[in-house]
């Protein structure tokens, strides 16, 4: 079936289309009704059907592929690689589930998981799913206060943590952060289950509360825990959106719809069949990590590589070496991760045998043209941008090489995937924008399977946050977009990241891409800062490639000229700073809001997830010294 026919059927005949896709997973009880959208904006998929994510990820594969690798957990931080078959994964998850049962965890209980990218994090997630418990993975290393907020919102029966993580060879103790969070939290769980990695031998424990997993693992080594069958629309997990201020917003995912959407995406979007391998460089604490480090590949009967370490450690060839070693067919990373590699010698792209690698998918932020060109030309592989959000749970815009590969248009994530009926509309009037005109990207309900079902314990916030922006009932992505004459979508950045310069609205991405066309530039971030005359002006922060020895002032002036050349004088940066590094989280997300806050002299917010704590201080000093180009003064 071609893309157009399949997509059109998914939005025009959703019950027929998704009824067929439901056959991709195992149901203990078949769905009685495919779609119930009688109370918009809420909808329920596969009503009455009972299933289980853990069963679909492990048990149903045991006859066909017990000795195939399910998870390869690679840590270049500790030097340890664990190759785990489906049979071994089944045993480990049953052992973990029995341990959770001993600690009182059952169906509907929440379990907070605070761990790095290690195999036990996967065991914990799947064990929760097996028991019908609702897991909430919090990115390892989050500040204690933010962890406490998530604990209070989820009200967990148990918290699971590692003794420590590692980043760039540095040990990051987790347990002190957990202890501080539990002292602050009003809904602290009665027990903490600790996976010791031997990284923090002096770790303190609280008698009567803290439990060593190694002890329970030995006790339950031969356990078999029956799966708990859940109605399709019961919650599977909570995932708190990044950058939340105040009370955190817990995205709630269902069971059946999520499983079906992931199963379909593995074959049609990521072009993976059972037995094939995916390398997803995300962290399990993020949405991509949930869907394509853990559940998607396992539901699809594939092998998933779980990576703990830097993209440059021990050298910039580590990802490509993993592709060669394990015959990776599909790789999934982020533009930021690739831009880190782009600073290194391009010969690393040629060093390893990548003959098995077919597709490189990138998501998390818009893919700029220079990064696309560097990667596609350097590897000779097809690079596919795709767009989604924590809320969608799987790609909402993408090309589909497993179904019908359309031509790649650099800068575009492609077309709507199954069930997503999208429009680009005027933010004020709600009218449809013509091709080539910028507007807000919206989705007409009902949202397809796999998307969030609500905000945890706050249906009204769900309505207000996602469907309360326009007179008609539309899901607002809060992203600016353009749809071209061929139907390709281009994402221009968040609606709240628009720079209004003397009445002219400029997307930060437009300016970033202009700057990035300079050969000397490695990475760039643009934020809007207040200007007395123009309302706002762009502030540019950029790093240069290794080996560039030009005077930073000359490089900054070249950036200014390029922006004017490509976008016109209205887009001229108010200031340009050439800095050693840009502040990023350990998942690779640029902290643009923190840059903006430093420029405005306000609080840069929670910095606990900074990859390099020195990066923000270097920028603070650069702002105090003054820009390399432009007249903007420090606050």
For 415-448, the DSSP string reads EE-TT-EEEEE-TTT-PBPPTT--EEEEEESSPP
Q: Is the model's pLDDT at 446 over the cut of 70?
A: yes
Classify residue 443: in a domain, yes or no.
Answer: no
Alpha helices in 517-612 (DSSP H): 552-567, 592-600
Query: What's the angle, vertex CA 283, arms to CA 278 and CA 288, rounded to 5?
Result: 65
- Contact 534/586 with Cβ under 8 angstroms? no
- Could you tell me the CATH number of the domain that includes residue 14? 3.40.50.12780
In this prediction, residue 235 carries a pLDDT of 98
Model confidence over 330-339: pLDDT tens digits? 999 998 889 8
Least confident of 189-203, 341-355, 502-516: 502-516
* CB atoms closer than 10 angstroms to residue 496: 10
Burial of 324 (0-12, 13-18, 19+ CB in 10 A): middle
Phi, psi for residue 314 in degrees, rounded to 5: -75, -10
Comparing C-alpha atoms, which of 317, 322, 330 is closest to residue 268?
330
In this structure, the answer to whether residues 399 and 509 fall within a common structural domain is no
Q: State residue 249's pLDDT score.
A: 87
Average pLDDT over residues 40-44: 98
**For residue 616, is it within any domain?**
yes
pLDDT digits over 497-539, tens only? 667 676 565 778 778 988 998 999 999 999 988 886 677 889 9
Exposure letters 374-396 (e unless 16+ CB within 10 A, then b): bbbebbebebbbbbbbbbbbbbb
Let me know if residue 170 belongs to a domain: yes
Same domain, 398 and 534: no
Alpha-carbon separation of residue 619 from 91, 597, 624, 625 (angstroms): 49, 12, 9, 10
pLDDT at 245: 41
381 is a domain residue: no
What is the mean predicted confidence (pLDDT) over 583-587? 76
What is the structure's pLDDT at 514?
86
pLDDT for residue 244:
35
Predicted confidence band of residue 189 (pLDDT cuts 50, 70, 90):
very high
DSSP, residue by residue, 260-285: HHHHHHHHHTS---TT-EEEE-S-TT
Does the pLDDT value for residue 302 go beyond 60?
A: yes
Does residue 381 surpass a pLDDT of 80?
yes
Torsion of CA 98, 99, 105, 110, to 10 degrees: -110
The residue behind tokens 């289309």 is: 17
303-330: per-residue pLDDT in tens?
999 999 999 989 999 999 999 999 999 9
Domain membership of residue 442 (yes or no) is no
Mean pLDDT score across all residues of the chain: 92
* Distance separating alpha carbons of residues 476 and 350, to the nearest angstrom: 42
Please give the structure tokens belonging to residue 620. Answer: 């603070």
Number of domains in the chain: 2
Same domain flag for 411 and 518? no
Number of neighbouring beta carbons within 10 Å of residue 508: 24
- Cα 306 to Cα 90, 177, 309, 318, 529: the distances in Å are 17, 24, 10, 13, 39
**Contact 535/502 with Cβ under 8 angstroms?**
yes
Find tokens 């818009």 and name the residue: 366
Block residue for tokens 């939005």 = 11
The answer to whether residue 444 is domain-embedded is no
Count of CB atoms situated within 10 Å of the CB of 79? 9
Residues 262, 407 share a domain: yes
User: Which residue range forms the structural domain that includes residue 617?
Assistant: 502-630
pLDDT of residue 635: 46
Q: What does the pLDDT average to over 367-380?
A: 92
Contacts of 610 (CB under 8 A, 6+ apart): 583, 584, 585, 586, 591, 616
Secondary structure string (H, E, C) spanning 81-102: EEEEEHHHHHHHHHHHHHHHHH
User: 247-291, pLDDT tens digit by residue?
Assistant: 778 999 999 999 999 999 999 999 999 999 999 999 999 899 999
Q: Are residues 302 and 195 in the same domain?
A: yes
| CB-count exposure of residue 68 (10 Å: 0-12, 13-18, 19+) | middle
| DSSP designation for 114 | E
Q: Is 92 part of any domain?
A: yes
pLDDT tens across 116-129, in order? 999 999 999 999 99
Q: Tell me, yes or no, whether 107 and 11 share the same domain.
A: yes
- Residue 533 class from Cβ within 10 Å (0-12 exposed, 13-18 middle, 19+ buried)? exposed
Question: Over the stretch 44-53, which tens digit does the pLDDT of each residue have?
Answer: 999 999 999 9
Q: Which of 589, 594, 602 is nearest to 619 (CA)?
A: 594
Residues 272 and 408 in one domain: yes
d(CA 332, CA 567) in angstroms, rounded, equals 32
> Torsion over CA of 225, 226, 231 and 233, rounded to 10 degrees?
30
User: Could you tell me where the beta strands, DSSP code E, fall in 7-49?
Assistant: 33-36, 44-47
Prediction pTM value: 0.86
Angle at 295 between CA 290 and CA 299, to 5 degrees: 165
CA atoms within 13 A on the CB side of 557: 5
Same domain, 414 and 510: no
CATH number at residue 616: 3.30.300.30
Domain boundary among 376, 396, 419: 419
pLDDT at 243 > cutoff 50: no
Handedness of CA 213, 219, 221, 224 (dihedral sign): negative
- On whether both 517 and 403 belong to a single domain, the answer is no
Residues in the chain, how many? 635
158-162/110-114 β-pairing? parallel
> Which range, of 538-552, 558-572, 585-599, averages the lowest pLDDT?
585-599
Q: Where are the beta strands (DSSP E) in 255-372?
A: 277-280, 303-308, 330-333, 359-362
| 411 DSSP assignment | T
**Pair (407, 533) in one structural domain:** no
According to the model, what pLDDT value does residue 142 have? 72
Do residues 412 and 530 share a domain? no
Rg (C-alpha) for the chain, rounded Å, is 24
pLDDT at residue 8, as a whole number: 98
Kindly tell me if the per-residue pLDDT of 634 is higher than 50: no
Q: Please report whether residue 70 resides in a domain.
A: yes
Examine the domain organization and report whether 157 and 31 are in the same domain: yes
């Amino acid at each position: 079936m071609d893309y157009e026919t399949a997509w059109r059927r998914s939005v025009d005949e959703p019950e027929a289309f998704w009824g067929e896709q439901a056959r991709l997973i195992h149901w203990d009880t078949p769905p009685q009704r495919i779609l119930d959208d009688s109370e918009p904006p809420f909808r329920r998929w596969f009503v009455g059907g009972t299933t289980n994510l853990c069963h679909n990820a492990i048990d149903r594969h045991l006859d066909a592929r017990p000795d195939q690798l399910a998870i390869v957990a690679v840590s270049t931080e500790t030097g340890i690689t664990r190759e785990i078959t489906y049979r071994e994964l089944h045993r480990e998850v049953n052992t973990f589930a029995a341990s959770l049962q001993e600690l009182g965890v059952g169906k509907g209980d929440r379990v907070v998981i605070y761990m790095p990218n290690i195999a036990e994090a996967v065991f914990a997630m799947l064990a929760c799913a097996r028991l019908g418990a609702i897991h909430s993975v919090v990115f390892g290393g989050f500040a204690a206060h933010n962890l406490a907020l998530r604990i209070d919102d989820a009200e967990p029966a148990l918290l699971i943590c590692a003794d420590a993580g590692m980043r760039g060879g540095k040990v990051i103790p987790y347990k002190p952060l957990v202890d501080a969070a539990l002292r602050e939290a009003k809904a602290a769980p009665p027990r903490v289950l600790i996976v010791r990695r031997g990284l923090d031998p002096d770790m303190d424990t609280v008698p009567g509360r803290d439990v060593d997993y190694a002890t329970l693992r030995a006790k339950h080594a031969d356990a078999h825990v029956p799966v708990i069958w859940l109605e399709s629309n019961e919650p599977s997990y909570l995932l708190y959106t990044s950058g939340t201020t105040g009370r955190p917003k817990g995205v709630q995912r269902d069971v059946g719809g999520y499983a079906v959407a992931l199963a379909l995406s593995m074959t049609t979007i990521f072009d993976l069949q059972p037995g094939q391998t995916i390398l997803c460089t995300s962290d399990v604490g993020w949405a991509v990590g949930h869907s394509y480090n853990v559940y998607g590949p396992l539901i699809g009967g594939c092998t998933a590589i779980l990576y703990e370490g830097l993209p440059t450690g021990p050298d910039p060839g580590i990802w490509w070496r993993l592709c060669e070693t394990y015959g990776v067919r599909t790789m999934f990373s982020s533009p930021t991760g690739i831009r880190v590699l782009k600073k290194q010698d391009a010969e690393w792209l040629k060093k390893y045998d990548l003959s098995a690698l077919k597709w490189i998918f990138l998501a998390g932020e818009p893919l700029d043209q220079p990064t696309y060109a560097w990667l596609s030309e350097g590897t000779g592989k097809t690079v596919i941008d795709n767009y989604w959000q924590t809320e969608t749970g799987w790609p909402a815009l993408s090309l589909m090489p497993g179904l019908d590969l359309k031509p790649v248009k650099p800068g575009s994530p492609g077309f709507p995937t199954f069930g997503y009926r999208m429009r680009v509309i005027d933010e004020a009037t709600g009218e449809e924008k013509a091709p080539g005109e910028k507007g807000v990207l919206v989705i007409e309900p009902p949202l397809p399977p796999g998307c969030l079902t609500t905000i945890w314990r706050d249906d009204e916030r769900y309505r207000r946050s996602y469907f309360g922006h326009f007179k008609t009932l539309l899901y607002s992505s809060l992203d600016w977009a353009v749809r071209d004459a061929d139907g390709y979508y281009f994402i221009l950045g968040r609606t709240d990241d628009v720079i209004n310069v003397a009445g002219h609205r400029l997307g930060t991405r437009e300016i970033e891409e202009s700057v990035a066309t300079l050969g000397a530039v490695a990475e760039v971030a643009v934020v809007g800062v207040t200007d007395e005359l123009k309302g706002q002006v762009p502030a540019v922060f950029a790093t240069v490639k290794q080996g560039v020895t030009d005077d930073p002032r000359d490089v900054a002036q070249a950036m200014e000229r390029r922006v004017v050349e490509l976008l016109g004088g209205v887009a001229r940066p108010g200031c340009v700073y050439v800095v050693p590094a840009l502040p990023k989280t350990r998942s690779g997300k640029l902290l643009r809001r923190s840059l903006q806050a430093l420029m405005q002299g306000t609080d840069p917010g929670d910095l606990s997830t900074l990859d390099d704590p020195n990066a923000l201080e270097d920028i603070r000093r650069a702002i105090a010294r003054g820009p390399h180009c432009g007249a903007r003064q420090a606050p």
